[in-house]
Each structure stands twice: as C-alpha cells, then as structure tokens.
Amino acid sequence: MSSWQLQEAKQRFSEVVRRAHDEGPQIVTRHGEDVAVIIDMAEYRRLKGQEPDFKKFLLEAPDWDDDLDFPRQRDLPREVDLGW
C-alpha cells in the first residue's frame, strides 16, 4: 500500500486513482495521520457485498415448522459439585 500526503494526492489525483486500480489501496494522510483510503471500484463492490443484510437473511431462512425432529435426552442432569 502506498501512502500519499493530502496535498500530493490532490495534485496527482489521477495517478492515485490509477495506482488504486493497478496496485491496490492508496492511503491518504494529513499531518502524518491516515485519514482516507482510495480503493478500486471492484474492491469497493466486493467489500460492500459482504455487508450482512439481516432482514434478507431472515426472509431467506428455511422453514423449520415441524419439518425436523430434534430429540432431547430424557435422563436427568448430572450431579455437579460446586464446592460449597
């Protein structure tokens, strides 16, 4: 990953974008601190696509209504000595 001072990134923006596409994320700094990252659009879409959509997950979940039998053990729980 390359690092660019903000002023230099502004002056050479086309190069920053080209490098983001060809080489990967480009970090932009201001006063020595990381403030932004320029990434290729394909990488952005890949990352954004991994964002979980809880509503979609619930709506696409299988219907478990009485389709499966989950057997339970009928024996009593074991004795545990808690040392009291």
Condensed to tens digits (0 to 9), the pLDDT of residues 34-47 reads: 999 999 999 998 88
Q: What is the pLDDT of residue 62?
A: 78
Domain 2-60, CATH 3.10.20.90 — does that match? no
Q: What is the pLDDT of residue 81?
A: 87
CA 17 – CA 5 distance, rounded (Å): 14
81 against 76, higher pLDDT: 81
pTM value is 0.58
CB 60 within 8 A of CB 50: no
Question: For the chain, which residues make up each domain, given as ranges?
Answer: 2-60
37 against 81, higher pLDDT: 37
The pLDDT confidence band at residue 66, using thresholds 50, 70 and 90, is low
